[in-house]
Amino acid sequence: MSLFRQLWLAILGLTVFVFLGSFLLSAYSARNYLEQQLLIKNGDNASALAMSLSQLQDKDPVTVELLVAAQFDTGHYEEIQLLDPRKQVIAERRDTTPVQGAPDWFVKMFPIRVQPGIAQVQDGWRQYGTVSVLSHSQFAYKELWRSTWGMILWFLLAATVAGVVGTWLLRLIIRPLDQVVEQANALTERRFTTVPEPKPVELKTVVRAMNGMVQRIKQMFAEETARLDGLRKQLNRDPVTDLANRDYFMQHLREALGSEDSAPSGVLLMMRLKDLAAINTALGRRDTDQLLKDIGKTFRQLCDKQDRWLPARLNGPDFAILAQNQPSAGSLAETLGKAMSGLRDGLDERIGELFSIGALRYHRGDELAAQLAGVDQLLAKAELQGSDAWVAHEGEAAEITPLPAETWRDLISSAVNEHRIKLINYPVLAARSRVAMHQEGVLRMQTDQGGPWHPAGDFMHFAVRLNLTKSIDLGVVGLALEELRQGTGQYAINLSAETISDWSFHTQLVNLLKGQEALCPRLWVEVPVYGALSHLDAFRDLCRTLKGLGCKVGIERFGRKLSEFDKFADIGVDYVKVDAHFVRDIDQHPGNQELLQGVCRMVHNLDILVIAVGVQTAEELETLTRLGFDGVTGPAVKAS
């Protein structure tokens, strides 16, 4: 039984108890009062009748009988009796009508017992007889019942008003408890919320304790995410420049060349410092480290505002940039060259040549070794040209990038409107049992009627630029619902980061999912981590909306923003998919194993599933299972 109901029953019981006590006390008091009044009336009437009889000169039986009858008929009497000194009846009148005006049970519960009024009748100096007068009690019963019924009605009215007001006050008083219940339910849904402290001291203590627990949990996760993010930086960052290190850069380069989700083309750039040892001799170690930090800052400034650009320091003198979707290698090399020349102007005059740059345009599907060899040759040519030179090679023209933006608008819009989009299914299996968790639908689009089906990496960056992601994502949701209608398992889809912040999309998505109560619990919806963080409030609203419909919500490309994972602690996501860069060759990197094991522990503490993406080999699969991953997907899983 709820606390509210218990309190209400207690108040109701107390009210009934008070009413019964007041009712009985009032009824008995009224009865006693009426008994006293009737006794006085009987005495007065008996005296008056006795005086009238005593004044009769001729007390013949007929006259006495008429006087008694007249008195009986003019009042409300139950009995009038005149007895002689020998107790013989001289005259008598009696009303045998039963009590009216009150229920029988009431008469039995509150009997009115009244003594008759008695007076002596004189005949000169001798006693003529004794008159006894008893008033009828039915009028007393009627008055007692009327007053009792009025009190009952008043109590009912007062109880109703008190109930309404009491309910409102009780709800007001226990509202903090409702908030605590909501807070506890939020904890079970992996959302960490705090509530304002109420004024009542007892409730304030409970709310303060709950808020303190929530804050401690959030602090615990913040500390754990900070520790894991520090470990990630230690493993994947150059300690001097804070750029990505060689291993991390190479993982991204492999992904850019081999993944269908990557951009169709881009630029691979390498920069080499001329004779780092001589620079160190000329500047000293501290100034040389400062130079390296300034170079790192220059690289970050060049890449920070670009999507999917990654700067790195490969070794001592070598730096690199992976610039996906960059159309011109020469333009990037020239921009970096100018920035480095500006940095060189403030250096010691003893430093002559500072850098050389080689930039090569690549295309998705190119061989990694060939690209590395090609950019290395361009770098060697730049070194032969002298001071601060750069050499770029544009490669073969890409098949897609030359199209202007407006052409892409027409291609994408017509493909969506004509339903030339489809989903390719990839299995996601439980890591230990290899049982299917869900199918992940990967988007494909046919830009030309009868043409090839392009992966998302070929057109999504144009869709983002042209603000067409909403129509694509709504089409994807429609395709997923159709897959669920035709199948029996779970199904996962991806929403683009840009769609999250579109509030009209939320409304259209809800309208699309309404009425699909049987399908929504089988639908998994995931969002890129950078999109969720960039539009946190919109993602929180989307998450609650989808979970309210029964869908599961997840985050993909997880691991890149570990330091901000605590922001998701109060949202209640159901699963995360760890980025393929952390999974690649995990069996050969003990440091990354420690990182991912910590991620699994932290995420599992929130009752969130952890899924590895891009599993390439059986060795990776075995290692990930040992580290505690719940699910896996990738080429190795597909082949198993």
Strand 436-446, strand 126-135: pairing: unpaired
- Residue 527 contacts residue 555 (beta carbons within 8 Å): yes
Last residue of one domain, picked from the residues 126, 160, 194 = 160
Confidence of residue 392 (pLDDT cuts 50, 70, 90): very high
Domain assignment of residue 197, yes or no:
no
Place of tokens 């699909």: 516
Last residue of one domain, picked from the residues 110, 132, 160 = 160
Place of tokens 């999507």: 307
At 113, which CATH number?
A: 3.30.450
Q: What is the pLDDT of residues 268-280, one digit of tens each?
A: 999 998 888 888 8
The dihedral built from the CA positions of residue 617, 622, 628 and 629, taken in this order, carries a sign that is: positive
Range 619-623 average pLDDT: 92
Confidence of residue 398 (pLDDT cuts 50, 70, 90): very low
At 304, which CATH number?
A: 3.30.70.270
Give the per-residue pLDDT at 494.
92
Give the per-residue pLDDT at 391.
92
Domain assignment of residue 205, yes or no:
no
Question: In this structure, what token pair is assigned to residue 368?
Answer: 């990694």
In terms of domains, do 457 and 575 share one? yes
Q: Residue 463: name the closest of 450, 476, 478 by CA.
A: 476
Give the per-residue pLDDT at 606.
80
Residues 6+ apart with CB under 8 A from 273: 279, 295, 316, 317, 318, 319, 354, 355
Question: In this structure, what token pair is assigned to residue 569?
Answer: 């602690």
Residues 6+ apart with CB under 8 A from 495: 473, 476, 525, 526, 527
Range 120-137 average pLDDT: 81
In terms of domains, do 382 and 489 share one? no
Range 89-112 average pLDDT: 75
Give the per-residue pLDDT at 4.
60
Instruction: Compute the distance between CA of residue 240 and CA of residue 273 in angstroms, rounded to an integer.
Output: 15
Domain assignment of residue 255, yes or no:
no
Place of tokens 């544009």: 394
- Residue 59 contacts residue 53 (beta carbons within 8 Å): yes
Last residue of one domain, picked from the residues 365, 393, 421 = 393
In terms of domains, do 389 and 412 share one? no
In terms of domains, do 350 and 477 share one? no
Domain assignment of residue 178, yes or no:
no
In terms of domains, do 552 and 509 share one? yes
Instruction: Compute the distance between CA of residue 506 and CA of residue 179 in angstroms, rounded to an integer.
Output: 27
Question: In this structure, what token pair is assigned to residue 483?
Answer: 């897959």
Q: Residue 432: name the closest of 573, 616, 640, 576 by CA.
A: 640
In terms of domains, do 447 and 341 share one? no
Confidence of residue 186 (pLDDT cuts 50, 70, 90): low
Instruction: Compute the distance between CA of residue 30 and CA of residue 24 in angstroms, rounded to an integer.
Output: 10
Q: Is the pLDDT of residue 313 over 80?
A: yes
Q: Please give the model's pTM, rounded to 2 decimal places.
A: 0.65
Share of the chain above pLDDT 70, in %: 90
Question: In this structure, what token pair is assigned to residue 192?
Answer: 């960490």
How many folded domains does the chain comprise? Answer: 3
In terms of domains, do 358 and 452 share one? no
- Residue 268 contacts residue 253 (beta carbons within 8 Å): yes
Give the per-residue pLDDT at 298.
92
In terms of domains, do 409 and 389 share one? no
Give the per-residue pLDDT at 400.
41
Domain assignment of residue 234, yes or no:
no
In terms of domains, do 593 and 544 share one? yes
Q: What is the pLDDT of residues 291-308, one digit of tens each?
A: 899 999 999 999 988 878
Give the per-residue pLDDT at 403.
65
Q: Angle of helix 469-486 relative to helix 456-465, nearest 10 degrees? A: 140
At 571, which CATH number?
A: 3.20.20.450
In terms of domains, do 541 and 626 share one? yes
Domain assignment of residue 85, yes or no:
yes
Could you give the count of Cα atoms lying within 13 Å of 406 in the half-sphere of its Cβ?
Answer: 0
Domain assignment of residue 176, yes or no:
no
In terms of domains, do 456 and 560 share one? yes
In terms of domains, do 410 and 375 share one? no
Domain assignment of residue 166, yes or no:
no
Residues 6+ apart with CB under 8 A from 637: 427, 428, 429, 615, 621
Confidence of residue 440 (pLDDT cuts 50, 70, 90): very high
Give the per-residue pLDDT at 6.
72
Residue-number span of the structural domain to which 433 is assigned: 405-639
Distance of alpha carbon 623 from the chain centroid: 35
Place of tokens 């090569």: 360
Q: What is the pLDDT of residues 503-519, one digit of tens each?
A: 889 999 999 998 888 89
Q: Is the pLDDT of residue 401 over 60?
A: no
**Phi, psi dihedrals of residue 509, rounded to the nearest 5°:** -65, -45
- Listed in sequence order, the DSSP H helices in 237-349 are 246-258, 276-283, 285-303, 329-344
The DSSP symbol for 567 reads G
